[in-house]
């Protein structure tokens, strides 16, 4: 018991007390120290190791708390009877994924990616500060189970935001917080019942389409024009639910004008139990003219379900979305008898609540709007010089543009030529629910993740290589 020689490394990344702890724990687990055996006293060990007693104390405390040893006052520390050591000592080594292989160099020098945010766009320091604040709070009630629909605080903050920024008046009790739109759509499918015929535009946000398809939903593909979804198509196809993105349709980029919005609302109100799922996609970023209030803002009869997210406006890694249910649907959900527990950690909810409440979100959006407007304007400037090659649409909102070749170039050929020049652009056909007969001639360019310098370089190249 006295020959306990613990090799202490000054420069270890672990503190001394941890090294002592680890060493003794290993001795016990390997069976070198048996149950009942007495450990050297903290003073003795401290002297032998030439460190302070309290350092040894800390290690011993930890070991007692975990049940490895037991403290007998005025006598000493003794190794406990460990029944069923939990962790086997052997460690499994997993083979490297690419043994010996180099990570393949990225094929593209420039990527007009459609998701992602501007580099440096995430308010990292603020987030860290708020995270610290939240985690420093007294008490650990924060770590017990929370409200299944989301913390009351963040729901109130979101309701206030929706009121002032999106013209949506709702009660915090109508809001459900969830980890991403995918999840909320799954939830919505449960709430709405499984026999709905949901209409979606073609092309549309394919992720939402697949979410619903994989749940077993019946999807009807309907047409769209420059104003958005075709209402007649809705009637014709017998849909009872429709998924739309009025503020900036993905991928086509059109903003649904007020008139069409009203027509759509009228369609929903025409019959009982018709619902509009309004994905308020990219509503945060508008560069010209008055923002149009969300459809849900005009809804008097409770037929609009509003979906919003922080994943696009803050960062894709922040998995927080929200859904505003009409009172009747919320009641239906609550009366299911079992609520799905909330999917966002309470700490993240608290951080976001502070972020909203203290005005950081508003300022963040203002800053990002300015950043994206610059990139947007740059893109538009170059595209105007390319009028002999393509027309473009989807401008003045969002963070991507739609190009339609007018020189005979096809989508496929356009993408191929861009790829050869090291530029990744995206085809509209990737977002179609159902392919169209005639050859596609449109591509999508997202500019959120691109630096302005890169936009200039890439656009200059595109102008060259897309010439016929």
Partner DNA sequence: GGGTATTTGTCCGTATGTATG
Partner DNA sequence: TCATACATACGGACAAATACC
**Binding to a second copy in span 221-250, by CB under 8 A:** none
Q: Residue 300 phi/psi, 5° resolution?
A: -100, -25
Determine if 128 is a binding residue for DNA (CB under 7 A): yes
Do residues 305 and 268 touch, judged by C-beta distance below 8 A? no
Residue 27 structure tokens: 């001795």
Interaction pattern, residues 9-38, with DNA; x per rule: CB under 7 A: ------xxxx--------------------
Tell me whether residue 126 or residue 396 sits nearer to DNA (CB atom).
126
Applying CB under 7 A, the site for DNA has a residue count of 32
Interaction pattern, residues 24-63, with a second copy; x per rule: CB under 8 A: --------------------------------------x-
Q: Which of 34, 128, 381, 416 binds a second copy (CB under 8 A)?
A: 128
* Contacts to DNA from residues 61-120, by CB under 7 A: 61, 64, 71-77
* Contacts to a second copy from residues 196-215, by CB under 8 A: 206-207, 210-211, 214-215
Do residues 227 and 256 touch, judged by C-beta distance below 8 A? yes
* Contacts to a second copy from residues 131-150, by CB under 8 A: 131-132, 135-136, 140, 142-146
> What is the closest distance, in whole angstroms, from the C-beta atom of residue 87 to a second copy in the complex?
5
What, of DNA, a second copy, none, does residue 60 touch, CB below 5 to 8 Å by kind? DNA
> What is the closest distance, in whole angstroms, from the C-beta atom of residue 54 to DNA in the complex?
3
Size (the chain), residues = 468
CA-based nearest residue to 439, from 462, 458, 415: 415
Determine if 54 is a binding residue for DNA (CB under 7 A): yes
What, of a second copy, DNA, none, does residue 39 touch, CB below 5 to 8 Å by kind? DNA
Q: Which of 23, 129, 369, 463 binds DNA (CB under 7 A)?
A: 129
Determine if 41 is a binding residue for DNA (CB under 7 A): yes
What, of a second copy, DNA, none, does residue 51 touch, CB below 5 to 8 Å by kind? DNA
What, of a second copy, DNA, none, does residue 289 touch, CB below 5 to 8 Å by kind? a second copy
CA distance 183 to 279: 13
CA distance 189 to 305: 12
Do residues 84 and 78 touch, judged by C-beta distance below 8 A? no
For residue 209, what are the β-bridge partners? Answer: none
What, of DNA, a second copy, none, does residue 91 touch, CB below 5 to 8 Å by kind? a second copy
Query: Beta strand 76-79 with 110-111: parallel, antiparallel or unpaired?
Result: unpaired
Determine if 44 is a binding residue for DNA (CB under 7 A): yes
Determine if 337 is a binding residue for a second copy (CB under 8 A): yes
> What is the closest distance, in whole angstroms, from the C-beta atom of residue 449 to DNA in the complex?
23
What, of DNA, a second copy, none, does residue 391 touch, CB below 5 to 8 Å by kind? none
**Which of 89-97, 380-388, 416-424, 458-466 is the region at the interface with a second copy (rule: CB under 8 A)?**
89-97
Residue 173 structure tokens: 């009790």
> What is the closest distance, in whole angstroms, from the C-beta atom of residue 335 to a second copy in the complex?
12
Determine if 39 is a binding residue for DNA (CB under 7 A): yes
CA distance 157 to 162: 9
* Contacts to a second copy from residues 412-441, by CB under 8 A: none
> What is the closest distance, in whole angstroms, from the C-beta atom of residue 6 to a second copy in the complex?
17
Tell me whether residue 351 or residue 386 sits nearer to DNA (CB atom).
351
Determine if 289 is a binding residue for a second copy (CB under 8 A): yes
Determine if 342 is a binding residue for a second copy (CB under 8 A): yes
Write b or e for each residue in 168-200: b if 16 or more Cβ atoms lie within 10 A of its Cβ, otherwise e: bebebbbbbbbbbbbbbbbbbbebbeeebebbb
Q: Which of 3, 10, 11, 83 binds a second copy (CB under 8 A)?
A: 83
**Which of 85-93, 227-235, 270-278, 428-436 is the region at the interface with a second copy (rule: CB under 8 A)?**
85-93
CA distance 468 to 407: 7
Applying CB under 8 A, the site for a second copy has a residue count of 95
Residues contributing to the site for DNA (CB under 7 A): 15-18, 39-44, 51-55, 57-58, 60-61, 64, 71-77, 125, 128-129, 132, 136
């Amino acid at each position: 018991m006295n020959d306990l020689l613990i090799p202490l490394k000054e420069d270890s990344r672990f503190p001394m007390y941890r090294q002592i702890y680890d060493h003794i724990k290993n001795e016990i687990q390997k069976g070198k120290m048996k149950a009942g055996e007495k450990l050297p006293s903290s003073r003795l060990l401290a002297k032998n190791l030439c460190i302070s007693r309290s350092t040894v104390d800390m290690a011993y405390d930890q070991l007692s708390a975990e049940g490895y040893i037991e403290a007998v006052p005025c006598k000493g520390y003794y190794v406990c009877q460990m029944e069923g050591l939990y962790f086997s000592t052997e460690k499994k080594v997993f083979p490297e994924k690419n043994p010996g292989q180099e990570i393949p160099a990225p094929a593209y020098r420039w990527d007009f990616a459609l998701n992602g945010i501007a580099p440096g766009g995430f308010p990292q320091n603020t987030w860290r500060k708020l995270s610290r604040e939240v985690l420093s709070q007294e008490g650990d009630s924060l770590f017990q189970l929370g409200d299944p629909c989301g913390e009351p605080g963040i729901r109130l903050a979101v309701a206030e935001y929706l009121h002032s920024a999106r013209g949506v008046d709702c009660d915090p009790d109508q809001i459900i917080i969830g980890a991403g739109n995918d999840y909320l759509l799954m939830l919505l499918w449960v709430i709405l019942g499984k026999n709905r015929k949901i209409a979606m535009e073609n092309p549309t946000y394919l992720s939402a389409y697949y979410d619903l398809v994989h749940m077993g939903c019946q999807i009807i593909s309907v047409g769209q024009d420059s104003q958005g979804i075709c209402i007649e198509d809705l009637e014709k196809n017998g849909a009872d639910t429709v998924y739309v993105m009025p503020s900036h349709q993905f991928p086509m980029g059109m903003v649904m004008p007020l008139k069409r919005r009203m027509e759509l609302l009228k369609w929903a109100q025409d019959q009982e139990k018709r619902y509009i799922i309004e994905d308020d996609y990219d509503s945060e970023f508008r560069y010209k003219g008055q923002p149009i209030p969300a459809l849900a803002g005009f809804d008097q009869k409770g037929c609009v379900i509003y979906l919003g997210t922080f994943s696009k406006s803050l960062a894709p890694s922040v998995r927080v979305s929200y859904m505003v249910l009409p009172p009747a649907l919320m009641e239906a959900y609550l009366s299911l008898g079992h609520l799905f527990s909330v999917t966002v950690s309470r700490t993240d909810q608290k951080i976001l609540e502070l972020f909203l409440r203290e005005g950081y979100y508003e300022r963040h959006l203002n800053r990002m709007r300015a950043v994206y407007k610059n990139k947007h304007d740059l893109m538009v400037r170059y595209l105007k010089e390319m009028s002999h090659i393509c027309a473009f649409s989807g401008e003045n909102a969002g963070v991507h543009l739609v190009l339609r070749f007018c020189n005979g170039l096809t989508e496929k050929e356009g993408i191929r030529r861009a790829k050869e020049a090291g530029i990744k652009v995206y085809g509209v056909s990737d977002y179609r629910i159902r392919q169209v007969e005639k050859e596609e001639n449109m591509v999508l360019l997202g500019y959120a993740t691109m630096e302005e310098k890169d936009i200039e370089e890439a656009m200059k190249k595109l102008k060259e290589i897309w010439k016929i």
